[in-house]
Structure 1
């Protein structure tokens, strides 16, 4: 523990940001319902966040290089905090879309600053421990944040104020971090042709994950509300889905390191597909049945991003891993922009269960595509793989660097 003590301020800041981000995703959807917004409008607001995230991913390294880590973090935290307050001052779909777009840009930048800073400070001896603590912070903060909603209620100013306070307070621990700011990171290049040439399956997979998982995160609260769940049950529903993502993450990753990784991607896709079938057609309005179904969905669907990233890195040439990391995040973001729009329209027309019916269609396509790729290309032998499976967060390209020991980077 002594080894990672200098990193504790950064980890606390990360926990505040991840928790605040997780709280906003659920709360904004529920508050939109209360304000009388249609499901498609709420989907559009969710799309605003992911569109902003794409923009933030592309430009944040330029900002960090221009003004440094702490000044970039301070500016982005202040802007995101102001956007949260603006959402309660101006309750209008267009305003909310714009504010969520601003927040998407800011959160992409905030996560990149923290993870770039962590990556610069971590050593090979502390990397695994830091990563474990970071994942615990991620899981704990997102899960705990969900229960702020039933505690304070959806109405009124309270949760907007709490989110703004959290963003402001995130400046405090990072201000106590090592006062020597890290060297500015290199620009992250988003060359979409590279990832497609390296791995068409990973490219399509990341888009599919964006289409499906982002729809769950943006519209899961709408689904749960639509089948009659209480606010506390909605928080539990979302927490279970998020928590489940870590349950099979490492078992699936372990077997993907030993077997054809595409087979494990297929197994995970089919598992998420079956859970979606259960939620769409069998679970009905029962709380327990939906809790079981969303646990199964999260357990299989959430590890898919890490599995696709690992598969892409299996085929990457030395020197391409940074581009692959940027590419997987970029393509996920593109899917995440489109997914909530399509799913929200279908939910508005056909009802809440259309969310998982939509997911079924997308995952069925991906399962068929994965089978086609297995037949079209030989697997990479395990002894020739350049990287082992790593559990990744979709927060910034710097997380993949944090998760990868130096001797596994770029074929080293």
Structure 2
């Protein structure tokens, strides 16, 4: 008997099995991750507004951008049968009715709001007004919602009408600071333009320029895209990293959320303009990020072909925009999981690694916690809306293309892409 037990211990020692979960099919695992992560936006949503809290320890502070990702996640919940169409409709009506009364600045919402009152919660000392980028993430979601709830029924019509009202009220052209050919990120009634932050690429803000061009009432000029967005020291790249060409952006690509936030709705398949092929851009950025983790020049514990994904997230200090040029030994699950459309085999390998092999502290009520560092034996105990949302949306885009089809079906978006001289299968 002792020999048998010794043999079993020997086998277990060489073939470790994560004790927390039984093996399930890939499809079932994807659905489980979608549903758990969706629950952040469903079960943890603020009870008054229906919007998503910024993070789990601050339930009264709701976030505009993360909630924009959240309304897209609600569509996934309806489509996957996690909730009924009627339940999703009622929640989304609550959200848009709240947004119609919440603080806004020339039709643009602040970064943070009080989830019960809609009053602005300053993001910084001077950042207490409108935030164009956060609002763009919300409008990306709301336009997708408008396209999904298309039935000729009173409640669905009311939802569409309220979304159109909010969309028409947004004064994108105000945020050019008097008609300059560039968007400014912030404006405040208390501090005016003192943030003075022009939005130049390459980063997460492409969607803001597409929406600003698409506005049916207050658009910016096409010149703003070419002379504002595409004029940056960090726009063009063209170099190779690990033999992989990177058309745009920072060395090694920067944090992976650049490939996620604008492309929850914008379908990068065949999406091209005079500057880049955006499928090539996003896939190659992802491959470079993963390869850096395989090479692991700083020798952090845990990094490898199945454990990768450097992007903005919590860390053992607080928060940082992790990337190959700003590597603190922190892996963020949303990095690999929100990249499913670009690298499905590698993202699935990462998903299985996170679920079956990483410390059980990584998995909780709303899916994977925000980040972890094996080198520091640190595992986050928080969830962040802006990291959870892309996991749901991009896994679904990989599986069915749901959000891409909805957003790209918007006539205003198609019109804007044509004005900006994009090519896309949706425009043919």
Give TM class, smaller chain.
under 0.3
Structure with the bigger RCO (C-alpha within 8 Å, sep 6+) is 1
Q: TM-score, normalised by structure 1?
A: 0.25
In proportion to residue count, which structure has more strand? Answer: 2
